[in-house]
């Protein structure tokens, strides 16, 4: 194989099944906010960030208080 086609660092195989079985249903939860007040119609928004240890993914959800005048779009396919 030509030298420029070699990867710069060797890739290591990670045992994702073991990680999934060890950390299934383990979630870290962080309460945070996104300050978008410098934008024209921006305001600070409360968020909840979930970090799933089983597969290293995140979920960010916006906390919308009732009767705040904001609406949530629901897409049904």
Q: Is residue 18 part of a domain?
A: no
Split into its structural domains, the chain has a count of: 1
Q: Is residue 46 part of a domain?
A: yes
Higher pLDDT, 11 or 66: 66
Q: Is residue 10 part of a domain?
A: no
Domain that holds residue 47: 28-64
Q: Where are the beta strands (DSSP E) in 1-77?
A: 27-35, 44-52, 57-62
pLDDT at 10: 67
Q: Is residue 8 part of a domain?
A: no
Q: Is residue 53 part of a domain?
A: yes
Give φ, ψ of 3 to 5 degrees: -60, -40
Q: Is residue 54 part of a domain?
A: yes
Q: Is residue 16 part of a domain?
A: no
pLDDT tens digits along 16-60: 899 899 999 999 999 999 998 888 888 888 999 999 999 999 999
């Amino acid at each position: 194989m030509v030298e420029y086609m070699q990867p710069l660092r060797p890739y290591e195989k990670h045992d994702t099944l073991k990680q999934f079985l060890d950390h299934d249903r383990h979630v870290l939860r962080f309460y945070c906010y996104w300050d978008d007040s410098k934008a024209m119609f921006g305001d600070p928004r409360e968020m909840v960030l979930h970090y799933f240890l089983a597969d290293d993914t995140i979920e960010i959800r916006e906390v919308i208080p009732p009767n705040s005048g904001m609406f949530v779009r629901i897409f049904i396919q």
